[in-house]
Amino acid sequence: MPDKITVAGVSIDTRQWIGGARVASAETFTDLSPIDGSVLGEIARGGPGEAEAAVGAAREAFPGWAATSRKERARILHAIADGVEERLEELAIVETMDNGALLRSHRRGVMPRVAHNLRFFADWLLALDHEDFETRGHRNHVSWDPAGPCVLITPWNAPLMLATWKVAPALAAGNTVVLKPAEWSPLTASLLADIAAAAGLPAGVLNVVQGYGAEIGDALTAHPDVRRISFTGSVPTAKRIAASAAGNLTPLSLELGGKSPLLVFTDADLDLAVDLAVEQYDNAGQVCLAGTRLLVEESVAEEFTRRFVDKATRLSQGDPRDEATDIGPNVHPRQVEKIDGFVQRALAAGARPVIGGHRKDGLYYAPTLLTDVAQDAEIVQEEVFGPVLTLQTFGDEDEAVRLANDTRFGLAATLVTGDPGRAERVTAQLVAGTVWVNCFFVRDLQAPFGGSRLSGVGREGGTWSFDFYCDLKNTVTAPKGWTHHG
């Protein structure tokens, strides 16, 4: 098979990136475009051998990178961000071809965020500090020491943005990285390797390996030389990774999605509430933070539903390369089968489709809203990860909070209310890592991000990221005892 493919005019190397060089694998896997099902290319399919080589390269490069000054590490991260911005259009179109998300979103939001991820953690590194403090005359000094090689396993719904969200703080901290992108959307990770090399990142500091979790992922997460593992994805896969890492007590950061509520109270601005609710169809519903459970106070439920249907049915679904498109395809045939399975089982159990409830041509799934669903129904309790919302009603605040918290997850929550007192009361009771009041998806990298319950382990963002990717050290120095001065 050829070592390179061309996607939308962009040349992409399909081999592994290990130790600063391209490495072929004996086998490949097929990468499909969700837009039309066309074959984008055959991608190097790694296994235990590639995992060993990549971790070995990261281990060898670690002492030199860890000893590199903060200023120089930050400079190189900014140079990588420069490379991302120079190739922004190429990255945007390749990502759209590979995972089906809107090209306009990639151009205007996602790829600029990729560069921002790199710049933010470069700048945070330079400011990272903890004020010294005294204990009985002794000086305490806290420092963040690089931990070692890190394995970063990233999802397919926002491949490059979520990759750099992990890569940037790991590299800034002085660690070396083995990045394994999802096999359904591997292409921009390969381009990131090229951009990083061109920016002057030393060989072996960033390695990119491709393949299936059961073949290369298990070998990476069980490796005794790996000092950190960060994973974004499903709960079953996270359990497998945790079991694999347990033998070496390798620290984990896990972001595992959710089943987030969107609460609409009777005093809410209904137009705002509807806008926020329809926004949950973004990226064809493939957003971990999406408020897929609409919980609406009984007194405004009928009017809310009427306005929601009016707005949602005017969404344009089609080719994500078209600027007018609002909803593109789902990422893979298996994902569409999963989404439709959830919906059809819900309908068979008595759910009523207010809109949608069916597949369309190819990998396009109609935006769906289901009502007449029980709180213990599968469609209410389990993450669908598609353009499928449920609508339930509540009578008062207590019931709203009870319904909102009544799942195994706790990633995010959104509430719409005109009463600041109510907002304060309700948010204090919600089990969620992030709560939005009268807004959605407002994100700042200096804020902690993560989930409660099965939505994850740990927090990322700002100093929390460095706390994870580093070994924190406290050095206590006595006020006396020096025998040499100068």
Average pLDDT of span 190-199: 98
Q: Average pLDDT, whole number, for the chain? A: 97
Assess whether pLDDT exceeds 90 at residue 43: yes
Which listed residue (90, 255, 297, 383) is catalytic? 255
> Is a pLDDT exceeding 70 seen at residue 5?
yes
When pLDDT is averaged across residues 104-112 and rounded to a whole number, the result is: 97
In percent, how much of the chain has pLDDT > 90? Answer: 98
Catalytic residue among 50, 95, 150, 288: 288
Q: Which residues pair with 58 in a beta bridge?
A: none
Specify the pLDDT at position 284. Answer: 97
244 within 8 A of 221, measured Cβ to Cβ:
yes
What does residue 400 show for φ and ψ, rounded to 5 degrees?
-60, -45
Is 60 labeled as catalytic in the residue annotation?
Answer: no
Q: What is the pLDDT of residue 40?
A: 98
Nearest to 271 by CA among 307, 312, 313, 295: 307
Mean pLDDT score, 199-224: 97
Distance CA 227, CA 241 (A): 14
Given a cut of 80, whether residue 430 has pLDDT beyond it is: yes
Mean pLDDT score, 108-113: 97
Please give the domain boundaries of the chain with CATH numbers for all domains. 4-256+455-474 (3.40.605.10), 261-437 (3.40.309.10)
Do 362 and 236 touch, CB atoms closer than 8 A? no
Instruction: Read off the pLDDT of residues 269-287 as tens digits, 9 standing for 90 and up.
Output: 999 999 999 999 999 999 9
Give the E-state strand segments of 246-404 in sequence order: 252-255, 261-264, 293-297, 352-355, 368-371, 388-394
Confidence of residue 480 (pLDDT cuts 50, 70, 90): confident
User: Band of the pLDDT at 338, cuts 50, 70, 90?
Assistant: very high
Q: Give the pLDDT band of residue 486 (cuts 50, 70, 90).
A: low
Give the span between the Cα atoms of 118 and 102, in whole angstroms. 22
b vs e for 59-95, b when ≥16 Cβ sit within 10 Å of the residue's Cβ?
A: bebbeebbebebeebbebbbbbbbbbbebbebbbbbb
Q: For 359, which DSSP code? A: B
Beta strands in 136-278 (DSSP E): 138-146, 150-153, 177-180, 206-208, 228-232, 252-255, 261-264
- pLDDT tens digits for 73-92? 999 999 999 999 999 999 99
Q: Which residues contact 155 (CB under 8 A, 6 or more apart)?
A: 162, 182, 232, 233
Q: Where are the alpha helices (DSSP H) in 225-329?
A: 235-246, 270-278, 298-312
Q: What is the pLDDT of residue 1?
A: 62
Question: What is the distance between the alpha carbons of residues 265 and 10, in angstroms, rounded to a whole number?
Answer: 49
485 pLDDT band (50/70/90 cuts)?
Answer: low
Is-catalytic flag, 255? yes
DSSP 201: P
Dihedral angle, C-alpha 214, 256, 284, 325, nearest 10 °: -100
Q: pLDDT tens digit string along 294-304?
A: 999 999 999 99
**Interval 192-215 mean pLDDT:** 97
At 311-326, the pLDDT tens digits run 999 999 999 999 999 9
pLDDT of residue 257: 87
**How far apart are the C-alpha atoms of 212 and 306, rounded to whole Å?**
44
**Overall pTM > 0.85:** yes
SS3 415: strand
Check residue 482 and give its pLDDT: 80
Average pLDDT of span 126-152 = 97
State the average pLDDT over residues 6-28. 98
Question: In the structure, what pLDDT confidence band is assigned to residue 484 with cuts at 50, 70 and 90?
Answer: confident
